[in-house]
Amino acid sequence: MTVYLVGAGPGDPGLMTARALELIAAADVIVYDRLIPAGALDVAREDAQLLYAGKEGGGPSVSQEEIDALLIEHGRAGRSVVRLKGGDPFVFGRGGEEAEALRAAGISFEVVPGVTAGVAAPAYAGIPVTHRDAASAVAFVTGHEDPAKPESALDWRALAAFPGTLVVYMGVRRLATIAEQLIAGGRDSAQPAAVIERGTFTRQRVVTATLGSVAASAEEQGIRAPAIAVFGEVAALRERLRWFEDRPLSGVSVAVTRARAQASGLASRLRSLGAEVVEAPAIRISPLETQLPDVRSYDLVCLTSPNGARLLLQRMTDAGLDARSLSGARIAAIGPGTAAALREHGLIADVVPERFVAEGLIEALADVPVTRALVARAAESRDVLPDALRERGAEVDVVALYETVAEPLSDAQLAALGHADYVTFTSSSTVRFLFEAIAGRVALGARLVSIGPVTSETLRAQGHEPDVEAVRHDIDGVVDALVADVAAVALG
Ligand code: SAH
């Protein structure tokens, strides 16, 4: 029976530690705060109990005593309990108090440090909290208490004289008083200062000013919690070191419509370029129980999607066969994603066309002799490929291994779609099912990105002209086209 006091980092899901993810995935019970990264609980077990213990934000709040009691109760019951807190659990997170309560109750605990907002938010703003030339010390300060109150536990005069960077947590409303106190204590009002709102989140905002003007600037910009204030020479380094807002897709929200199981690759590439990803999986892959023909009887096996490749090999395994059963056939993959799915099973495609559409595959197969071909694919695929092979005199069997079905979208997903700057379509079925799911319930203001000509045609058939069509008809191509369009729109 262990309770883990776990830091979830400042907001960017990529800043969660490996240990945090491992414990979340194994936990029976997770007691979490409001300020945790989006998707932090996605890896939790289906049957894990998720308990919200948010204390901020106006709504009904859970008291510290109740949280302590909850941790003790579940810890005592022998469950694996993760107490998930924003940033680092021991930095202004009351983690110390929770550890004391657990120790007093005789419950064992472990602490998993997290990336604290006071270091991470400045870093994402291009502000190193220490610097050889500008600051050899840094102090983490809570701005929660009213500095004007005589009983304040903080000695603001001493802090004013502190020879280094001051990083103030929780101080948005107190910013003006804090700055006044620091100036009264002898800090130069011309000293650089910065306030970082929602640091490390895609919507991070930064205000830079001087100690004397920062409160007014923050107010003018409407800066709200959560925010961190940085006072010291290092704040000026942002001018030279900013990077977060300058990534190719910073500030751009992009909807991903492909099936949840396939979305992660595209979503993580978009995120790493700075995009805010709206997850709107409009489709789901539903395997079909179709009869698998004898795969050993073909001299050509065509796979027209990664799903098709994976499912064919899965079905072969189920039938007690392995890759050797395909040794007599040439293997054709429609594109690099499909070829990669084959490689996972030790198969290297003999034919991968330059254009990743059925027409491209037909061209690439022009000189390949075929007598008996198997086309393994989705139920709803076009017949271009089997028709062309038959025209060449081949005997062609088509096996539909799966169908693509609609995945309903929640109101929250629909609302997020309405605000997206781009919607990406990676197949015709994403087009059909997304517009079916929307059914006029939100107006898309987004630019529409299509993976290739077939998907573009489906968009047009739905009355939407694609704004961007990928030159390379795969996921990398979609990302490249999107980045180019963002740059072009910014210039234009
Ligand atoms: N344990 C946390 C701090 C909790 S106190 C940590 O180590 O980061 C909550 C305060 O942290 C907020 O009021 C705000 O000042 C700061 N904070 C937390 N996340 C933040 C973020 N993403 N950007 C800016 N400030 C943040």
Give residues (CB < 6 A) around ligand 1.
10-11, 35, 85-88, 91-93, 116-117, 121, 169-170, 196, 198-201, 225-228
- Enumerate the H helices of 228-305 as residue ranges: 238-241, 260-272
Residues 307 and 335 sit within 8 Å (Cβ to Cβ): no
Q: Which atom of ligand 1 is found nearest the CA of 199? A: 23
Probe target for ligand 1 pocket from 34, 115, 169, with the most ligand atoms within 8 Å of CB:
169
Percent of the chain predicted with pLDDT > 90: 81
Probe target for ligand 1 pocket from 35, 115, 202, with the most ligand atoms within 8 Å of CB:
35
Selecting among 12, 16, 33, 85, the annotated active-site residue is 33
Comparing 133-147, 195-209, 224-238, 457-471, the range with the smallest average pLDDT is: 133-147
170 carries an active-site annotation: yes
Residues 407 and 433 sit within 8 Å (Cβ to Cβ): yes
What is the CA(385)–ligand 1 centre distance, in A? Answer: 56
55 carries an active-site annotation: yes
Q: Specify the residue with its C-alpha closest to ligand 1, atom 25.
A: 227
How far is 80 from 58, CA to CA, in rounded Å? 30
Using alpha carbons, select from 491, 484, 14, 492 the residue that is nearest to residue 249. Answer: 484
For the chain, helix, strand, coil in percent to 5 are 35, 20, 40
Selecting among 1, 28, 55, 485, the annotated active-site residue is 55
Residues 74 and 28 sit within 8 Å (Cβ to Cβ): yes
Probe target for ligand 1 pocket from 112, 138, 174, 228, with the most ligand atoms within 8 Å of CB:
228
How far is 303 from 336, CA to CA, in rounded Å? 11
Q: Specify the residue with its C-alpha closest to ligand 1, atom 24.
A: 227
pLDDT for position 60: 62
pLDDT for position 56: 55
480 carries an active-site annotation: no
Q: Each residue of 100-155: pLDDT tens digit?
A: 999 999 999 999 999 999 999 999 999 999 999 999 999 999 998 776 777 777 89
Q: Which atom of ligand 1 is found nearest the CA of 93? A: 1
pLDDT for position 109: 97
Please measure the distance between the N-terminal and C-terminal CA atoms of the chain and give it in whole angstroms: 60
Q: Each residue of 280-339: pLDDT tens digit?
A: 999 999 999 988 999 999 999 999 999 999 999 999 999 999 999 999 999 999 998 899
Calculate the average pLDDT of the chain. 93
Selecting among 68, 170, 421, 474, the annotated active-site residue is 170
Beta-sheet pairing, 283-287 with 276-279: unpaired
Q: Specify the residue with its C-alpha closest to ligand 1, atom 2.
A: 87
Structure tokens at 19: 């240990």
How far is 422 from 446, CA to CA, in rounded Å? 5
* pTM summary value: 0.78
How far is 460 from 289, CA to CA, in rounded Å? 33
pLDDT for position 399: 95
pLDDT for position 38: 81
Q: Which atom of ligand 1 is found nearest the CA of 168? A: 15
How far is 457 from 429, CA to CA, in rounded Å? 12
How far is 302 from 308, CA to CA, in rounded Å? 9
Using alpha carbons, select from 482, 462, 420, 424 the residue that is nearest to residue 445. Answer: 420
Q: Which atom of ligand 1 is found nearest the CA of 171? A: 15
Using alpha carbons, select from 489, 480, 426, 486 the residue that is nearest to residue 458. Answer: 426
What is the CA(173)–ligand 1 centre distance, in A? Answer: 14
| Mean pLDDT computed over 250-262 | 90
Structure tokens at 248: 């190719």
Q: Each residue of 41-90: pLDDT tens digit?
A: 989 999 999 999 875 555 567 888 999 999 999 999 999 999 999 999 99
Q: At residue 118, what is the residue type? A: G
